[in-house]
Amino acid sequence: MKLTSKSEYTLLALIYMARQKKGAFVKIEDICNCYDIPKKYLEQLLTILRSNGLVRTRRGAEGGYALAKDSKEITAADIVRIMDGPIAPTDSVSQYFYQATPLEKEESVLDLFRNIRDYAAKVMESKTLYDLALTPEIGERAITY
């Protein structure tokens, strides 16, 4: 598994939102400035997140983007699957995006990649957006408002 810039920028944007006061709307420009993300690209990513129910939007001077779910309900695996697809290293062992591959002719190879898939999924499913937004030096979310 290799993360694309879609997942990387999405993780950063969602962490930024998770660090805000609960329910607060943030301006896209603030996220872009914080992480040096191209605005047009982030707009596309946030549209994907909105259509998947992870963010909500509000128009106007007090508008912007906010998390649509509690940060403790969104896992790293959820984000990566939405943005990049399967966590599995090959489609033939993917639980959510299965497709046949030539590797299916060798069960020992499939077992290896299932183990890799299971380990990666377990780790990523155990980390929520809330966990990722924690600041190590103080052990709590760095809320900026």
Per-residue confidence (pLDDT) for residue 62, from 0 to 100: 83
How much is the pTM?
0.85
Measured in residues, the chain has a length of: 145
Distances (CA, A) of 20 to 1, 59, 68, 86, 120: 30, 18, 13, 29, 28
- For the chain (length 145 residues), average pLDDT per consecutive 10? 91 96 93 96 97 94 92 96 90 86 91 92 95 71 49
Instruction: List domains and CATH numbers for the chain.
Output: 5-135 (1.10.10.10)
Per-residue confidence (pLDDT) for residue 61, from 0 to 100: 83
Per-residue confidence (pLDDT) for residue 60, from 0 to 100: 85
Per-residue confidence (pLDDT) for residue 136, from 0 to 100: 62
Per-residue confidence (pLDDT) for residue 145, from 0 to 100: 40
Per-residue confidence (pLDDT) for residue 91, from 0 to 100: 85
Per-residue confidence (pLDDT) for residue 57, from 0 to 100: 94
| Residue 20: CA count within 13 A, CB half-sphere | 17
